[in-house]
């Protein structure tokens, strides 16, 4: 039994009528006889019900349900069933193929094939379970050394909060970010029981974040050392820091002379309170490059000038150089996210993590001689069938992946219907065009085309870039879905 509808506090009325009931009531009122003044004479208790005792208004006609009204346009007898309630026309239910695409009904062959409820928005599928599996495999490889995960640039574009919590759950307690702002986001996601190092070091406008969120600066120069100590000396509980020594990359890091000066300045060193000494390998992807051994030797000699503390040298590629590069902490990045860290992919055992999925928005037939895309960058040599995909350079598909007529560069491909199809024409902001002429079965509208996935490094090599760049350029417009396994 339905409860009465509460109209006002403390007062209850009848249950509100549904839309269908209201419509039937309106239709019934149209068929109700009225008097000369337009008043309803067929309703008891109406406006005149009290005065006329519920009698019909004097309209000169007698109301009879079983007979039709005196209306020349109506020759059917009156029925209680509303006029609008016509039998519904039955429609055939759509059927679907194995890929989930709707099949054409036999009676309407001209109808286009598409997935029901598909979207024009691209989707990023991020497998958090694969990130955890990659972390575990790296840990097995480095043995007793700990892992300090690199979550720079929003965890390489995959989401620092989600990735940070996944790695924390896997046992990671040391993280590296580029800026204090990134450190703040990560700290709020994983809590206080972890070390977060800021690789770019301290700067005056960022000092508040370092202290408020217990972020550890990486000291890259004597100038940064003084900036940090001036503020740390005034604080009751200043965070520890790391010392970054440049061993040959000539990027950030204390130079050889600065390292020697700092090692002799015990007062400055004591104010800094370092708990880690680190450097960065420049040529680790190439295991045969002699610079790897040179940097290893320099790092050992310079670190020996400082008090004993944990050392860190190896990045993702450095993990595969051997145990002597591992020290007490390794700092993997791209390997966690499914990219290829070295030149020998067969030596690596990480899983792909991310796929950029773009829906098929339109299928077109192109005649020989027609141009495709901006600037007529591609001209069809023969009749073609093409598909327009709903993702472009705003979503992480570089313009460099465009397929141009007569181009001598490598062709970029996309996975569609489990086959690799080439990109043709210039990639635009929101759209990418692919050649589907050779597909045995054309895709339907809404079917997904996959960028990246297991072909992340292949896609990067095709346009002369690195898989790092393809990941961090993934657009914020994409809908993100996270999978735990």
The Cα–Cα gap between 218 and 331 comes to 14
Catalytic residue among 55, 264, 374, 441: 374
Long-range interactions of 231-237: CB distance < 8 A, separation 24+: 231/202, 231/207, 232/271, 232/272, 232/273, 233/271, 235/211
Contacts of 158 (CB under 8 A, 6+ apart): 124, 126, 131, 337, 353, 354, 471, 474
The Cα–Cα gap between 291 and 342 comes to 15
Catalytic residue among 115, 152, 184, 216: 152
Contacts of 264 (CB under 8 A, 6+ apart): none
DSSP symbol at 418:
T
374 is catalytic: yes
Question: Sign (positive/negative) of CA torsion 396, 398, 402, 407?
Answer: negative
Contacts of 308 (CB under 8 A, 6+ apart): none
DSSP symbol at 74:
-
152 is catalytic: yes
CA distance to 12, 19, 54, 82, 434, per residue, from 8 (Å): 7, 22, 31, 33, 61
Catalytically active residues, by annotation: 152, 374
């Amino acid at each position: 039994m339905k409860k009465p509808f509460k109209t006002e506090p403390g007062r209850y009325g009848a249950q509100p009528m549904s839309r269908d009931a209201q419509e039937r009531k309106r239709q019934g009122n149209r068929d109700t006889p009225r008097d000369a003044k337009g008043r309803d004479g067929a309703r008891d208790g109406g406006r005149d019900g009290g005065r006329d005792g519920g009698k019909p208004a004097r309209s000169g006609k007698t109301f009879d349900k079983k007979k039709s009204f005196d209306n020349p346009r109506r020759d059917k007898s009156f029925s209680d069933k509303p006029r609008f309630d016509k039998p519904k026309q039955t429609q055939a239910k759509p059927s679907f193929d194995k890929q989930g695409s709707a099949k054409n009904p036999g009676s309407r062959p001209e109808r286009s094939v598409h997935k029901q409820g598909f979207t024009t928005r691209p989707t990023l599928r991020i497998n958090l379970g694969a990130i955890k599996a990659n972390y575990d495999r790296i840990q097995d490889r480095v043995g007793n050394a700990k892992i300090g995960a690199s979550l720079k640039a929003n965890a390489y574009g995959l989401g620092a909060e989600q990735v940070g919590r996944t790695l924390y759950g896997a046992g990671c307690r040391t993280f590296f970010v580029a800026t204090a702002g990134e450190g703040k986001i990560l700290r709020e996601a994983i809590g206080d029981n972890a070390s977060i190092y800021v690789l770019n070091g301290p700067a005056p406008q960022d000092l508040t974040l370092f202290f408020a969120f217990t972020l550890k600066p990486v000291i890259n120069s004597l100038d940064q050392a003084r900036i940090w100590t001036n503020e740390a000396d005034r604080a009751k509980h200043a965070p520890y820091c790391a010392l970054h020594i440049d061993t040959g990359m000539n990027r950030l890091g204390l130079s050889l002379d600065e390292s020697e000066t700092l090692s002799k300045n015990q007062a400055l060193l004591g104010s800094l309170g370092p708990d880690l000494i680190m450097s960065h390998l420049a040529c680790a992807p190439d295991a045969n490059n002699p610079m790897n051994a040179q940097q290893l030797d320099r790092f050992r000699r310079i670190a020996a000038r400082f008090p004993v503390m944990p050392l860190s040298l190896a990045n993702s590629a450095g993990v595969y150089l051997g145990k002597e590069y591992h020290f007490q902490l390794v700092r993997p990045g791209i390997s966690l996210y499914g990219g290829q860290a070295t030149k020998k992919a067969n030596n690596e055992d990480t899983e792909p993590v991310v796929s950029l999925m773009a829906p098929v928005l339109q299928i077109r037939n192109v005649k020989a001689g027609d141009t495709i895309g901006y600037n007529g960058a591609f001209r069809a040599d023969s009749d073609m069938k093409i598909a327009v995909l709903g993702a472009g350079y705003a979503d992480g598909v570089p313009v460099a992946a465009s397929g141009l007529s007569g181009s001598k560069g490598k062709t970029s491909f996309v996975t569609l219907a489990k086959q690799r199809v080439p990109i043709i024409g210039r990639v635009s902001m929101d759209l990418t065009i692919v050649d589907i002429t050779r597909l045995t079965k054309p895709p339907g509208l809404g079917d997904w085309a996959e960028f990246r996935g297991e072909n992340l490094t292949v896609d990067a090599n095709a346009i002369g870039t690195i898989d790092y760049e393809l990941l961090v350029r993934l657009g914020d417009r994409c809908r993100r879905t996270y999978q735990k396994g």
